[in-house]
Amino acid sequence: FIILESLISKRMMLFKFNQSSLEWLNFYPPLDHSHLEIPLLIKNLNMKSILIK
């Protein structure tokens, strides 16, 4: 019943934009993050493990 009622009811939204959510204020993906960082991190971790041994 709850799902059906939620689909057929026409309620007004109280807030169109949630001001308390900081993630909506940021760009996606973040400008300081890229997929190129992941291999670099893996390479650095491998080098550290080689140096420790």
Domain ranges of the chain: 1-52
The Cβ of residue 44 has, within 10 Å, a number of other Cβ atoms equal to 10
Residue 33 is predicted with a pLDDT of: 59
By three-state DSSP, how is residue 39 classified? helix
Residue 2 is predicted with a pLDDT of: 79
> Token pair 């001001």 is at which residue?
19
Look up residue 45 and give its two tokens.
Answer: 């971790």
Residue 29 is predicted with a pLDDT of: 62
pTM (two decimals): 0.22
CA distances from 37 to 33, 34, 41 (A): 7, 6, 6
**How does pLDDT run across 1-53, given as a tens digit for each residue?**
778 887 778 777 666 665 566 666 666 666 665 555 555 556 666 655 555 55
Residue 30 is predicted with a pLDDT of: 60
CA torsion 21→26→27→33, rounded to 10°? -110
Look up residue 19 and give its two tokens.
Answer: 């001001």
Residue 14 is predicted with a pLDDT of: 64
